[in-house]
């Protein structure tokens, strides 16, 4: 498994270069488009312990699709999808990146040449006292997103474009909802968005583990570095994530 440390080192080096050049812009996922959409949730066959996943509902959402290192056009890159689901107190932010195939591959960020591919949470979430992973992938019944950000916005404008969302638990992959794209936000609104899956998370569905705990610092530092307002502080959520609860 030497490939994983080498890949991680390469990604870290590229991220450092991006950070050095990123004043007033995102250090990671600098190129992207933000859209409006709808998240339709129907749930899994058995409850996972998260209201967002278990309760059938339709949510108006904000979505950002992006390229991790900012390569141009349809060139390979670690692509990302971020979803903001409004909530009564604060929103829930879900951030996924393109991953490899298989049980262990789902934990490795992987460059892809298209947005019609598999995205994963990389590390675990905790819901109902158990760990699970989140996945998103192409909807066989939907319109393709294509290879470029321009093709994504075109697909959203035509309608029918989206992704299926899945939960991975106990070795089973179970679809629980569909993300539909239906509008494009302005570049100004895209630049102002500040996602944070640590602070913008509910007690019954949140990232877990030390890696996510370290990311909590990185998100806030990056957002202040590029001059946008971070989400409100949430010490309890940061502690809960880092403590693996």
Q: What is the pLDDT of residues 206-242, one digit of tens each?
A: 998 777 667 777 778 888 888 888 899 999 988 888 8
Structural domain count of the chain: 1
- In sequence order, the β-bridge partners of residue 179 are 39, 163
Higher pLDDT, 216 or 39: 39
Mode of pairing for the β-strands spanning 119-120 and 130-138: antiparallel
Using the predicted structure, report yes or no on whether residue 150 has a pLDDT greater than 90: yes
CA distance 64 to 179: 12
pTM of the model: 0.87
In whole angstroms, how far apart are CA 199 and each of 152, 164, 222? 28, 25, 14
- In sequence order, the β-bridge partners of residue 178 are 40, 164
Give the CATH number of the domain where residue 135 resides.
2.40.180.10
Give the range of the structural domain holding residue 55, as residue numbers without chain letter: 3-242
Residues 6 or more apart whose CB falls under 8 angstroms from that of 17 comprise none
Q: What is the pLDDT of residues 156-201, one digit of tens each?
A: 999 999 999 999 998 899 999 999 999 999 999 999 999 999 999 9
Phi, psi torsion values for 63, nearest 5 degrees: -130, 140
Over range 87-98, report the average pLDDT: 94
Single out the residue of 32, 34, 123 nearest to residue 79, CA to CA.
32
9 band by pLDDT with thresholds 50, 70 and 90: very low
């Amino acid at each position: 498994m030497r490939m994983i440390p080498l890949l991680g080192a390469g990604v870290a080096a590229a991220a450092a270069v991006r950070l050095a050049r990123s004043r007033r812009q995102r250090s990671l996922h600098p190129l992207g488009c933000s859209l409006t959409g709808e998240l339709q949730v129907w749930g899994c066959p058995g409850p996972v312990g998260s209201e967002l996943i278990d309760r059938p509902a339709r949510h108006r959402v904000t979505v950002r699709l992006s390229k991790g290192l900012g390569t141009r056009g349809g060139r390979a890159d670690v692509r990302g999808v971020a979803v903001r689901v409004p909530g009564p107190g604060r929103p829930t932010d879900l951030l996924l990146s393109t991953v490899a195939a298989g049980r262990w591959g789902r934990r490795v960020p992987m460059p892809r040449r298209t947005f019609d591919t598999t995205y994963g949470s990389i590390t675990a979430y905790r819901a109902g006292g158990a760990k699970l992973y989140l996945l998103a992938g192409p909807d066989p019944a939907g319109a393709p997103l294509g290879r470029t950000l321009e093709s994504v916005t075109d697909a959203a404008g035509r309608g029918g474009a989206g992704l299926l969302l899945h939960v991975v638990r106990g070795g089973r992959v179970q679809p629980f909802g569909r993300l539909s794209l239906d509008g494009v936000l302005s570049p100004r609104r895209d630049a102002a968005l500040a996602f944070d899956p640590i602070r913008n998370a509910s007690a019954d569905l949140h990232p877990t583990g030390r890696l996510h705990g370290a990311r909590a610092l990185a998100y806030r530092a990056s957002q202040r570095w590029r001059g946008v307002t971070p989400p409100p502080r949430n010490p309890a959520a940061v502690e809960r994530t880092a403590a693996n609860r």
